[in-house]
Amino acid sequence: MAFVGIGCGVLRSRRVSVCCCAEEGKKSVLVVGASGKLGRLVVEELLRRKMSVVGLARDRDRAKEAGLGDDLEGLDMRFGTFEDGSAVEAVEAVKEDVGAVIWAAGPSRTSPSAIVDNQAVNDVAGKFKDLLAGKDDYLFDFENSSRTQSFRQVDDVVMGGVSRSTIQSASEGNEQYARFQGNVSFDNNGGFCAIRNDFSPPLDLSKWTGIVLQVRGDGKRYKMSIKVDEEMEFNYQAKFTTSARSTGQPWETIRIPFSRFTPMKRGRLQLGSPEGRMFNVNLDPSKVVSVGFLRSSIEGGSRNPEFETGPFRLDVRKIGVYKAVPPRFVLLSSAAVTRPFWSKEKKAQYPSSYDIPIVQLNPGNVLVEKFNGEQQVRKSGIPYAIIRYTGLNDDQPDGTLVLAQGDTLVGRINRKDGAKLAVDVLMDSDAYYKTFETMTITKPSASSVQSLGLLSLDIVDSAPSG
């Protein structure tokens, strides 16, 4: 198997910890479904890399048949079923010794998908919600504070336009948040609204990976702005799109890496000033002097012809920073889990992805239950990666492993390659909060994605796209 872009685990002479902040050798990897066809290969790969493993299986005899006996160094097998709750009890007994989880369990005749792929995932993730939770830090927590008065408007009126915006504290029931809203107009050559908060002294965010937002929008595209320089109109910007949601609907968590921010001035990419001063193409977050939001018609130095003028609304619950770490919960899922939700237009656009037996039959509603299980992991707060395998088998020939997003991939992958990928992902911070599909091909094209770093971060709580 050839694979580009993922740093493989390093083989060492002693057992290693997967938890970067734990003492070496203290934490183990919990493999749920350890005796299954894929799970046993995951255990084998972890042990090959000298990592300590806690395996969870239904039956001791089946585990021995799978080669997971008591004589394997570094393996601690536990047993139980999710139907009677004994598997969750087994997890409870070992959770303090676990630094990461790989979920390789699947449904069977006696264990329906609704239990194994959905409810059990939620139960086990719940056991680790506090132990393995990600570490974010919030610059603004509007849920618990009404600090909107520190923001100021920077609308196109400064250039003669007539667009107007406000940011105010808002509440609905027990919810409190900030609301950035207004009206964008092209009159008088205008076309943007913006708000900004200035920091004095500047903030050093260099130990973080990027910005994390909890927002509820109107389906429109916005920009996040960061200033690290006193130059009046110069800042770094990154675009993000919201789902159309009304008050009371779920919030979206959006992560924007600092690497996605580009230097801009008046909507144009800006690498230098007229005075010959050069700006760094890469954002340096060590001296942040302001953060803010824009609703702007200007992209690439000119007006976006598809931009819609008129009212907008962006509710903001939190603005913070996050640090990417290797996933602590790797869910081994399946391609096609969103396809039962596809619109008629998408089915027509990707007929070869929709007209396959697993989608048409969807036995036991397995695809929907697997998607619901994915959502349980996304909402858990644990740094995760979700791998959606295409057809797993033991005969697929060696080739190149490619990655994709959007759930349109159709193909096959050898289980051994799938197991190696699962362990690779566990060790790679580029997999942080990402969902992707994978398959093996013998002749990759120039556009084939072979690096986790090229994949997009998930927007948490978003519904399947149609």
In tens, the pLDDT along 316-350 reads 999 999 999 999 999 999 999 999 999 999 999 99
The amino acid at 454 = L
The amino acid at 370 = K
What pLDDT is attached to residue 158?
A: 83
Helices 366-378 and 120-127 cross at an angle (nearest 10°) of 10
- Name the pTM for this structure: 0.88
In tens, the pLDDT along 267-308 reads 777 765 555 555 678 899 999 999 999 999 988 778 888 899
75-79 vs 53-57, strand pairing mode: parallel
**332/232: higher pLDDT:** 332
**SS3 (DSSP) at 44:** helix
Q: Which long-range contacts (CB under 8 A, 24 or more apart) does 278-283 make?
A: 279/229, 279/231, 279/234, 283/226, 283/228, 283/236, 283/258, 283/259
What pLDDT is attached to residue 19?
A: 45
Question: Residue 68 and residue 66: Cα distance in Å, rounded?
Answer: 6
Are the folds of 28-134+325-454 and 137-322 the same?
A: no
What pLDDT is attached to residue 62?
A: 93
Query: Taking the domain 137-322, which CATH number applies?
Result: 2.60.120.430
What pLDDT is attached to residue 375?
A: 95
What pLDDT is attached to residue 147?
A: 80
Using CB atoms within 10 Å of the CB of residue 37, give its burial: 0 to 12 exposed, 13 to 18 middle, 19+ buried. Answer: middle
Please identify which residue in the block is written with the tokens 């939770």. Answer: 133
Using CB atoms within 10 Å of the CB of residue 163, give its burial: 0 to 12 exposed, 13 to 18 middle, 19+ buried. Answer: buried
- Tokens representing 420? 């190696």
Does the structure show a pLDDT above 90 at 413? yes
In tens, the pLDDT along 20-37 reads 433 344 799 999 999 999
CB 412: neighbour CB atoms within 10 A?
16
Q: What are the extents of the domains in the chain?
A: 28-134+325-454, 137-322
Query: Taking the domain 28-134+325-454, which CATH number applies?
Result: 3.40.50.720
In tens, the pLDDT along 241-253 reads 999 988 778 899 9
Question: Residue 148 and residue 167: Cα distance in Å, rounded?
Answer: 6
What's the average model confidence in pLDDT over 372-388?
A: 96
Residues 6+ apart with CB under 8 A from 283: 226, 228, 236, 258, 259, 261, 263
Question: Residue 238 and residue 230: Cα distance in Å, rounded?
Answer: 19
Question: Residue 137 and residue 203: Cα distance in Å, rounded?
Answer: 13
Does the structure show a pLDDT above 90 at 122? yes
